[in-house]
Amino acid sequence: MSSHQPAPSTSNQAWGGRYSEGPSAIMQAINASIGFDRKLWRQDIRGSLAHAAMLKHVGIISADDEAAIRDGLNQIAAEIEAGEFTFSEALEDIHMNVEARLTERIGEAGKRLHTGRSRNDQVALDMRLWVRDAIDGIDGQIADLMRALVDRADEHAATVMPGFTHLQPAQPTTLGHHLLAYVEMLGRDRARLADCRARMNESPLGAAALCGTGFPIDRHMTAAALGFDQPMRNSLDAVASRDFSLEFLSTATICGTHLSRFAEEIVLWTNPYFGFVKLSDAFTTGSSIMPQKRNPDAAELVRAKVGRIAGALVGLMTVMKGLPLTYGKDMQEDKEGLFDATEALALGLAATAGMVRDMQPDGARLKAAAGAGFSTATDLADWLVRELRLPFRDAHHVTGRLVAKADAKGIDLSGLSLEEMQAEEPRIHNGIYSVLTVEASVASRTSYGGTAPVNVRRMAGEWRERLK
């Protein structure tokens, strides 16, 4: 494509008055957003319906014109829905594609729709409506994932597994407690979404190009009709701001990070060296060359999806930084990353919920791993404090020497004889063996928020109520 070759169309109908020639093909290619902003068609038509109803209400357009506009827009919606609408790159974006088709269908009245409005407040409105819907969809999906986690947590409230720090065996915990940790994270993600939604729920419509309008429009009416709490207070802010998208993307990135951490755990847990859980054929793939393989592809992709989501956040931040007020065409670049990130998060949430419901924990394996690595050493030290009144620091040292002794012999702490223990601390008696099992270890941790199965069951119950 040569740079000064004209695009197939000639003068643009939206600003044709000032222009005698059409854009170069390259101009049209870089300028057009219809390839991706057609996704906004529902929001665009919804906004136009509300705008037209308001124009009629305040007497700017006649009732007949409004009726024609309404019918025309509804027919266009049906055309797009049915895949019968021809989108045109020459018409640049969704706003002009819909308006041009409207005028084609209903004539004169279609040209009155844009009174007291600009594409600048129109696109800001469409994006707010889209993000608001996206928030609601994502929120519902997070709630679904949380329900899946809560069910499995309740089921496995007493299934012991190793708790890790530094990915080294630390203390025994339960699978239920572990899963509920993610429920807490996801609960905060929902709270962040709710905050974001509440803050963004103001209407930019009627800010017009940037300064408002001299027409006697009723911004409160359109705001209410579109489900907003109120119109935005400043017209410049209304057309220039995209922090609602940034806030949604930040929240999406945090949520994606949570999913990514869990996905990484599934990758580890399904590795035969761990063998903690199995995923069925539904969530694994085989290898075309190695017949024994069962690859956790879904988990790996969930682990990776956050790359796109965080990328969209950084991308939009970079577009918006340094942009002078108010609207700049730069802001047209706010869409693709946002759409892509939303899709990635939605897919990640669905796949994670699927894996949570699918995974089969191996209780025996988990229990054996939970007891390995001297994981009850803290319980032993705590026993020395409780029973023998040793200061914790001294108890830690005694326990350390016992771990070294067991390690040297290649046995567990419970494999040490009483004599071997007493060589380090003469007052140790038989009672010590009762705290060295993993079951005793987890059952003892009844402090609020602790790992004990009774806690886990209670918390799962509380979450189930909250998620109803």
What's the rounded Cα separation, in Å, for the pair 42 and 233? Answer: 25
Beta strands in 52-184 (DSSP E): 160-165, 168-174
Confirm or reject binding of residue 123 to ligand ARG (CB under 6 A).
yes
CB 161 within 8 A of CB 172: yes
Catalytic (active site) residue 4:
no
Residue with tokens 């025994």: 172
What's the rounded Cα separation, in Å, for the pair 457 and 444? Answer: 15
Total residues at interface with ligand ARG (CB under 6 A): 9
- Report, in Å, the least distance between residue 125 CB and ligand ARG: 11
**Cα–Cα distance list, 295 to 260, 263, 268, 279, 379 (Å):** 17, 13, 11, 9, 37
Confirm or reject binding of residue 239 to ligand ARG (CB under 6 A).
no
- Report, in Å, the least distance between residue 115 CB and ligand ARG: 16
- Report, in Å, the least distance between residue 326 CB and ligand ARG: 10
- Report, in Å, the least distance between residue 139 CB and ligand ARG: 26
What's the rounded Cα separation, in Å, for the pair 133 and 140? Answer: 11
List binders of ligand ARG among 389-408 (CB under 6 A): none
Catalytic (active site) residue 287:
yes
- Cis before 326 (ω within 30): yes
What's the rounded Cα separation, in Å, for the pair 245 and 334? Answer: 8
Confirm or reject binding of residue 99 to ligand ARG (CB under 6 A).
no
What's the rounded Cα separation, in Å, for the pair 444 and 130? Answer: 49
Q: Which span sits near ligand ARG by CB under 6 A: 117-125, 139-147, 254-262, 358-366?
A: 117-125
Q: Which is nearer to ligand ARG, 99 or 425 (CB)?
A: 99
Confirm or reject binding of residue 331 to ligand ARG (CB under 6 A).
yes
Query: And the tokens for 444?
Result: 């003892």
List binders of ligand ARG among 59-98 (CB under 6 A): 93
Confirm or reject binding of residue 235 to ligand ARG (CB under 6 A).
no
Consecutive H or E run containing 373: none
Q: Of these residues, 166, 288, 417, 447, which one is catalytic? A: 166
Q: Using CB under 6 A, pick the residue from 37, 89, 121, 189 that binds ligand ARG.
A: 37
Q: Using CB under 6 A, pick the residue from 46, 56, 117, 119 that binds ligand ARG.
A: 119
Residue with tokens 């806690």: 455
Phi and psi dihedrals of 170, rounded to 5? -115, -70
Confirm or reject binding of residue 120 to ligand ARG (CB under 6 A).
yes
Interface residues with ligand ARG (CB under 6 A) are 33, 37, 93, 119-120, 123, 329, 331-332
Catalytic site positions: 166, 287
